[in-house]
Amino acid sequence: MSAGGGTAPAGAVEQALRQVAPSRYEAYEQLLRALAEGRVWMLLWSGAPGAPDAQYGNMEVDGHGYAPCVTSAQELAASGWHRAHEVAAGYEVAAALFPDRWGLWLNPHAPGGGVGVPWADLRRIATGLDLQPAGPLRLSEPTVEVPQFYALLTQNAHRTPAVRALRRAWVQPALGDPYLAIGLDLYDTGPQAVEAARAMVGRSASAVPEGLPVSTVAMADEHDPVAMWLRAHARPFFDREAYGNAVTAPAHQPGPATRPY
């Protein structure tokens, strides 16, 4: 990764970092925005800055991997790091780390141990913070009664050959309104199939009660936390191959699951 800088004012990441505390989700979101626009000092375990073989340092917290970094030249001096380092834009680091499920740990040398940003939030930085729900997410089987919507959606899915199956979840973000998520399992992810699925959902939207937010998620996305939960916990309510295209009652679940961040 080449050295570079973000567009945020100098010190914006450090200022946001000082406001972060447990359950202060607004402050944490501000930190993510600062990272998306700012830069960090990545600690290199081997290689030179910008070299193809450069390797970030690594640390493990609660079974999850993180790449350590510091937030300024002053923090780099305070850390005592004597190997090479690389200054990089936060969104570039996020894009490089999240596909392999690596998080980013800010200032691990600081009193209290610094702050970790899990890979799911790095994915939000890399793909657009406003495009993904703010975690941690609480996901469960929907309890909202919308049989007309499910029936119309199933009918339209039956007429859309690209659709293999549909799943559903109730998503409660850390910030923002809860919503109904529909997982789209397609036979292929080419542009024509995706557009056909979007049109199918659009034709079904007339049966959505006013005030009920509905979103879709691609089941093929291996990094989407909602899709991951759906694959693990949700039985399809439409399955072209196994359920005869019938709407099924919501499957019983032991209770809401919290996505570990």
Give residue-wise pLDDT tens across range 80-133: 999 999 999 999 999 999 999 999 999 999 999 999 999 999 999 999 999 899
Give residue-wise pLDDT tens across range 159-199: 999 999 999 999 999 999 999 999 999 999 899 999 999 99
Give residue-wise pLDDT tens across range 18-27: 999 988 999 9
Q: Write down the pLDDT at residue 243.
A: 55
Residues of the chain with CATH 3.40.1350.90: 12-131
Using pLDDT thresholds of 50, 70 and 90, give the confidence band for residue 261. Answer: very low
Check whether domain 12-131 has CATH 3.40.1350.90, yes or no? yes
Strand partners, 55: 46
Q: Write down the pLDDT at residue 246.
A: 43
258: pLDDT strictly greater than 90: no
Is residue 30 a contact partner of residue 17, using CB atoms and an 8 Å limit? no
Q: Write down the pLDDT at residue 7.
A: 57
251: pLDDT strictly greater than 90: no
Per the model's pLDDT, the better-predicted residue between 250 and 65 turns out to be 65
* Cα 104–Cα 108–Cα 114 angle in degrees, nearest 5: 85
Using pLDDT thresholds of 50, 70 and 90, give the confidence band for residue 11. Answer: confident
Q: What b/e string do you get for 88-109 counting C-beta neighbours within 10 Å, with b at 16 or more? A: bbbbbbbbbbbeeebbbbbbbe
- Residue pointed to by tokens 């909602």: 226
Using pLDDT thresholds of 50, 70 and 90, give the confidence band for residue 8. Answer: low
250: pLDDT strictly greater than 70: no
Q: Write down the pLDDT at residue 240.
A: 93
Give residue-wise pLDDT tens across range 206-221: 999 999 999 999 999 9
Is residue 97 a contact partner of residue 122, using CB atoms and an 8 Å limit? yes
Q: How far apart are CA 58 and CA 83, in angstroms?
A: 13
In this prediction the pTM is: 0.82
Q: Write down the pLDDT at residue 242.
A: 79
Going from the C-alpha of 5 to that of each of 9, 76, 79, 138, the distances in angstroms are 10, 16, 21, 35
Q: How far apart are CA 87 and CA 3, in angstroms?
A: 5
**What's the whole-number mean pLDDT along residues 227-233?**
97
Structure-block tokens of residue 114: 């610094």
Q: Write down the pLDDT at residue 227.
A: 97
2: pLDDT strictly greater than 60: no
Give residue-wise pLDDT tens across range 30-69: 999 999 999 999 999 998 888 888 899 999 999 999 999 9
Structure-block tokens of residue 246: 């019938």
Residues of the chain with CATH 3.30.300: 138-258
CA 39 to centroid of chain Cα atoms = 20
Is residue 76 a contact partner of residue 49, using CB atoms and an 8 Å limit? no
Helix residue ranges per DSSP H, 20-89: 25-37, 73-79
Is residue 183 a contact partner of residue 166, using CB atoms and an 8 Å limit? yes
Check whether domain 138-258 has CATH 3.30.70, yes or no? no
